[in-house]
Amino acid sequence: MRPVPAFRRFGLASTLLSAALLAAAPAAWAQTTTPSAAPKLEKLADFPHQVTGVTVAEDGRVFVNFPRWTEDSPVSVAELTKAGTLKPYPSDDWNAWRNAKKDEMDPATHWVCVQSVVADGRGHVWVLDAAAPAQSLLVPGGPKLVRVDLATNTVGQTIAFDETAAPQGSYLNDIRFSPDGKHAFITDSGAKGALLVVDLDSGKARRVLDGHPSTQVEKGLVVEADGKPLLRPDGRGVEFSADGIALSKDGKHLYWQAIKGKTLYRIPTETLIGAGLKGEDVARAVEPFGENGVADGLLIGRESGLMYVTAPEENAVKRRDLAAGPTGKPDVLVKDERLRWPDTFSEAPDGSIYVTTSRIQDSAFFKPDAPASLPTQLWRISFGD
């Protein structure tokens, strides 16, 4: 990977976004959608940097994040305003971290390499900081889960992960919350996949299924893009472990899978909250639940209970009825060549589905002549008229 150049701040970000499309968003949030209706794909925004996470809070506010993978992105977490601009969130100071200044800044109070943002429906946005720029070495003191309160736009809680929860080589990826808001479940897609179970009141975190087959890459599988194996210049392919994560509508099962993997797995959440947090082995409770194919993001609809699955090999978003059991298969919901590496989902209050395209196959990891600052997009899938 080539050296990281210096970059300008986000002052002109609004010129790179589609304000006209975003201005229409409030009307859409007021609608009621039906997942069974014909889907409509709409581009909401263009970003000048590589996006991964998106979340739509219960009040309709939209948040996105930009990990420091192939560039020293000038903003890590931002609110996407109704005017179509990116506002560093929750403040400029939290976004002030730079790789070049890492010895001068406290990683505990700055975004280092944020992978996910997730609203919990309880007045908060949680920010998951993997703290591993370029998906490489962890910055000591950087891995954390941070709660930002929407009413005040201030940090209300920070849960730091020590080396027992996030050892070197880990890359904390995505997060879901128990229905009662007391626990969080996190995937680790790093060199040795695992799940984390977090007690949000105490901040206690346990690493479970560390090295278990369900959280690892599937040997022999080759991830493709544009109909060809997706390989780095040195011949390495995609090696992401446990990544996509979803919680069942009733909150009783947690689902996950590796990107370099086709199999979906699940476990009872009561097992994770009980035995898992006690440090007991929970491997026997893991259940294979059929195949999704190669996938990145997962989401289960709040009302429908249907699972949405990103399909980066096919430039598509799929949908699966989990009620069909392990033999059920996901069907294509939307397929479009512009959906280059659909990455992360969020469900808006109206039931529409937001999805980012992180264009991983076009990044400097796999194409050395690609710009370090990779343009990406945010999309919405809506249903009905």
Q: What per-residue confidence (pLDDT) applies to 6?
A: 33
The angle at the Cα of 335, spanning 291 to 237, to the nearest 5 degrees, equals 55
Q: Per the domain annotation, does 323 fall within a domain?
A: yes
Q: What per-residue confidence (pLDDT) applies to 36?
A: 64
Q: Per the domain annotation, does 4 fall within a domain?
A: no
User: Quick one: DSSP state of residue 228?
Assistant: E
Q: What is the mean pLDDT of each run of 10 residues along the chain (385 residues)?
A: 36 37 35 65 97 98 97 96 94 95 94 98 98 94 98 98 97 97 98 97 98 96 96 94 97 97 98 97 98 98 97 98 97 98 98 98 95 96 86
Q: What per-residue confidence (pLDDT) applies to 34?
A: 52
Q: Per the domain annotation, does 167 fall within a domain?
A: yes
Domain extent, residue 16, equals 10-383
> What are the DSSP calls for 81-124, one per residue?
-TTS-EEESS-TTTT---GGGTTTS-GGGS-SSEEEEEE-SSSE
Q: What per-residue confidence (pLDDT) applies to 38?
A: 87
User: Quick one: DSSP state of residue 322?
Assistant: G
CB under 8 Å, gap of 24 or more: what pairs does 306-312 form? Answer: 306/35, 307/246, 307/255, 308/333, 308/345, 308/353, 309/244, 310/244, 310/341, 310/342, 310/343, 310/344, 310/345, 310/355, 311/342, 312/223, 312/225, 312/259, 312/341, 312/342, 312/343, 312/360, 312/361
CA distances from 381 to 26, 266, 274, 312 (A): 15, 26, 37, 16
How would you label 50-87 residue by residue, b for 16+ Cβ within 10 Å and e otherwise? bbbbbbbbeeebbbbbbbbbbbbbbbbbbbbeeebbbb
Q: Per the domain annotation, does 2 fall within a domain?
A: no
CATH code of 45's domain: 2.120.10.30
Q: Per the domain annotation, does 3 fall within a domain?
A: no
Q: Per the domain annotation, does 212 fall within a domain?
A: yes
Mode of pairing for the β-strands spanning 316-320 and 331-335? antiparallel
Residues 193 and 183: their CA atoms lie apart, in Å, by 20
Domain count, the chain: 1
Q: Per the domain annotation, does 220 fall within a domain?
A: yes
Q: Per the domain annotation, does 216 fall within a domain?
A: yes
Amino acid at 326: P
Amino acid at 258: A
